[in-house]
Amino acid sequence: MLSILICIVAFIGTFVLTRRSLVWGMAACVGFGYVFGVLRANILDTFSFLMWDASVLGLYAGYFSVQRTPEEIARTAGLRLWVAVLILWPVVLTIVPVQYPLIQLVGLRGNTLLLPFLLIGARLEAEELDELAMFLAAFNLVTLGIGVTEYFTGLERFFPHNPVTQLMYNSRDVAGNTAFRIPAFFVNAHAYSGTMVMTIPFLLGAWNRESRSWARSLICAGMAAAMLGVFLGASRSHTVVFFAVVIVAVFAFKLKTLARAGMIAMLLLIAWVVSNNERLQRFATLFDADFVSARIAASIDLPMVEAALEYPFGVGIGGGGTSIPYFLQDQILEPVAAENEYVRIMLEEGVLGLGLWIVFFLWLLTRQSAMRLKVGPGRKLARFATLSYFAFASLGTGMLTSVPHSALMLAAAGWAAEGSNDV
pLDDT digits (tens, 9 = 90+) for 80-93: 999 999 999 999 98
pLDDT confidence band for 298 (50 / 70 / 90): low
The model scores a pTM over 0.85: yes
Q: What's the whole-number mean pLDDT along residues 43-70? A: 91
Q: What percent of the chain has pLDDT over 90?
A: 51
What is the residue-averaged pLDDT of the chain? 86
Instruction: Tell whether the model's pLDDT for residue 17 goes beyond 70.
Output: yes
pLDDT tens-digit profile of 338-361?
678 888 888 888 889 999 999 999
DSSP 3-state of 159: coil
Spatial CB neighbours of 56, under 8 Å, sequence gap ≥ 6: 14, 29, 113, 114, 407
Q: Identify the bridge partners of residue 174 per DSSP, sorted by sequence position.
A: 179
- The residue count for the chain: 423
**Cis peptide bond N-terminal to 160, omega within 30:** no
User: Looking at this protein, which amino acid is placed at residue 134?
Assistant: M
Q: How high is the pLDDT of residue 394?
A: 76
pLDDT tens-digit profile of 94-115?
888 777 788 888 888 989 999 9
Question: 145 vs 263, which has greater pLDDT?
Answer: 145
